[in-house]
Amino acid sequence: MNIRKYCSGISAAIAIILCAIACDDTTQDIGISVTDKSDHMEISTDTFNVATQSIAADSVFAITTIGYLGKVLDPETNAYVTGSYMTQFHTFEDYDLPEIAKMESKNENGEIIADSAELRLFFRKFSGDSLAPMKLIVYELNRPMDEAASYYSNYSPEKDGYYDANSFQIEKAYTLADQNLRPDQRADANHTPNIRIPLNKTYTDNNGKQYNNFGSYVIQKYYEDQSNFHNSYNFTQNVVHGFYFKHSAGLGALANIFATQLNIFFRYQTSADTVAVGTLQFTGTEEVLQTTSITTSKEAVKRLLNNKSCTYVKAPGGIFTEVTIPVDDIMRGHEKDSLNTAQITFPRINDTQSNINSPAPPTTLLMIPKDSLYTFFEKQQVCNYKTSFVTSYASSANSYTFGNISNMVKEMYRNRGRSDNWNKAVLIPVTVQYNSTGEMTSCQHDMSMSSTRLIGGEQNPYAPIKISIIYGKFE
C-alpha cells in the first residue's frame, strides 16, 4: 500500500494513526498502540442526592422588554394577580419630518398640528379570557425614569411621584379579543393583537399651552428644537417622559405586552398637487427603560411554601426552587481528577386536578448561584455556562434537565465556605432572547402566569433528586 499517498500533508499525530490503520487490518488496540500509557484517561461515574426547597422572592428585578397588564385569579393560590407597567420611547437618530412649508395639517392660527394620535399595545400571549371586559388608565409620567435605579416588581410609580391626579390621563375599556374587528380580520395571519388607545383629547403642556391632541404637542416640539429627536435620551428628557399603563378595573385577563407604540398622524405635500399621510412612530424597546409592577397575595405564597412534599417554581408570585449541591461529597477523593460532566434532572409532578385556567409550566428555567439572585438581573447578564445555565421544559419527559453544570460545581468548590450559600443554586423562570447567530442577548425574569411543582422538598415522598457525575483521571 502507498502510505505516502495517504499520509502526505497530514499532521504527524493523525498521520501515525492513519498509517497504522492502513498497515494493520486489526484496529481494536490502535489507541493503546499509538498512545503513551501515561495519557490514558480512566473514566468513573457516581451519583449523589441533591436537597431542594421552595423559597420566596419578595419581588423580582422588573426592568424588562415585556409589560404585563391586567388582572387574573390564580387558581393555584385563589389569589388575585395584577399587572401594570410604565415605559419610555425610543427615537431613531436624526429623526426627520417634512419642511414646515410642506405640512398640510394646521390649525386656524397656522400652527402645525397632528390629525390624530394613538397608543398601541401589542401582545401575542396572555393568561385568562380574551373576552373578559377590562379597563386601564394611561398616565403621562411627570419626569423621566431614573436610569441608575433598580426597579423591582413591587415598585409603585404613584408613591414615587411619577404621576398624580393632575397628570395627563386617558381611560380605556377593552377586551383582548378586539370586538371592533371582524372575525376574519382577527384571524388574519398578518394581524397582531393589540389594545388601541386614542390620544385625541385636549393636551396641556407644562407651560400651560394647549394643543388639540397629544400628537400636536410632539410635532410642535420637533419644530422648536429638532435636536431633542436625535436620540432617545434627549427625547425622553425633553419631549415625552413616558407613560404608565395602570390596570383600573376588570378581572380575567393578563396580557404580555411585547411592544408599546406611539403613533402620530399628519398630512404633508409630496408635490404641488399631491398630499400624503405621514406617521411619526416611537416604540418602547430595549434601548429605553420599561418596568412592570406586579401585586399578589404574600399569604397565598406562604401557603405554597408550607408544602414540604415538593418544590415550586412559580411566576409572577415569586417562588423559586433552591438547590443544595453536595459539592464536598462530589469532590471527595477526586480533588485532582477532571470533573467532566454533572447532569441533574428535575421531574415535574402532574396536577391531580385539571383546570383549563391553571398556569402552564415555565418554558425556560435559569440556574444561577443563590448569591447571584439579584446581581445577575441588575447587571443584565446573560448565561455564561460557567456559573449560569438555562434549560427548556421537555414535555415528553415531563422534566427540566441541565445537561452539564460541572463548571458551576467546580466554581462552587473553589469558593467553598466564602458565604453561607456557597453550594446553593436557584431555579428561576425566565424569558431569553437570541440574535441571528444564536447568541443570547437578554435573560429576564418571566412574570407571565406560570407554575410547576417539582419532585423534591424536605418531606419528599418520591425518589430524591440525583446529580450524575462523570470523572476523568489520567493514569
- AA identity, residue 323: V
User: Which residue, 267, 288, 309, sits at the end of a domain?
Assistant: 288
Q: How many CA atoms lie within 13 A of 184 on its CB side?
A: 0
Residue 40 in domain: no
Alpha carbon distance, N-terminus to C-terminus of the chain: 35
Domain identity same for 51 and 182: no
> Environment class of residue 424 by beta-carbon count within 10 Å: exposed (0-12), middle (13-18) or buried (19+)?
buried
pLDDT of residue 464: 84
Domain identity same for 184 and 317: no
Helix (H) or strand (E) holding 8: none
Angle at CA of residue 276, ends 271 and 281, nearest 5°: 130
What's the Cα-to-Cα distance from 224 to each of 111, 228, 279, 446, rounded to whole Å?
Answer: 12, 9, 19, 41
Angle at CA of residue 121, ends 225 and 170, nearest 5°: 70
Domain identity same for 11 and 117: no
Residue 62 in domain: no
pLDDT of residue 40: 72
Domain identity same for 216 and 305: no
Cis status of the peptide bond prior to 461, with omega within 30 of 0: no
Domain identity same for 276 and 400: no
Range(s) of the domain holding residue 275: 67-288
Domain identity same for 241 and 385: no
Q: For every one of its 475 residues, what pLDDT tens digit does the chain have, with 9 covering 90 and above?
A: 443 333 444 343 333 333 433 444 443 343 444 445 556 778 999 999 999 999 998 789 998 889 999 999 998 888 999 999 999 999 877 778 999 999 999 998 889 999 999 999 999 999 999 999 999 999 999 999 998 888 999 999 999 999 988 889 999 999 999 867 777 777 777 789 999 999 999 999 989 999 999 999 999 999 999 999 989 999 999 999 999 999 999 999 999 999 999 999 999 999 888 999 999 999 987 777 899 999 988 888 889 999 999 999 999 978 999 999 999 999 999 999 999 999 999 999 987 665 667 889 999 999 999 999 999 999 999 999 999 999 999 999 999 999 999 999 999 999 999 999 999 999 999 999 999 999 999 999 999 999 999 999 988 777 789 999 999 987 6
Domain identity same for 330 and 257: no
Residue 177 in domain: yes
The total number of structural domains in the chain stands at 3
Domain identity same for 314 and 221: no
**Distance between CA atoms of 97 and 266, rounded to whole angstroms?**
10
Please give the grid coordinates belonging to residue 371: 448569591
User: Which residue, 246, 268, 288, sits at the end of a domain?
Assistant: 288
Residue 458 in domain: yes
Domain identity same for 84 and 223: yes
Angle at CA of residue 410, ends 407 and 413, nearest 5°: 150
Domain identity same for 283 and 303: no
Q: What number of H helices and E strands is found in the chain? A: 10, 23
Residue 41 in domain: no
Domain identity same for 240 and 348: no
Do 337 and 395 form a contact (C-beta atoms < 8 A)?
A: no
**Distance between CA atoms of 86 and 146, rounded to whole angstroms?**
12
Do 128 and 253 form a contact (C-beta atoms < 8 A)?
A: yes
Do 315 and 381 form a contact (C-beta atoms < 8 A)?
A: no
Residue 50 in domain: yes
The cell 397588564 sits on which residue? 69
Domain identity same for 307 and 254: no
Task: Give the global pTM.
Answer: 0.85
Helix (H) or strand (E) holding 71: strand 67-74
pLDDT of residue 96: 84
User: Which residue, 257, 288, 319, sits at the end of a domain?
Assistant: 288
**Distance between CA atoms of 404 and 343, rounded to whole angstroms?**
5
Residue 293 in domain: no
**Distance between CA atoms of 114 and 200, rounded to whole angstroms?**
9
pLDDT of residue 22: 41
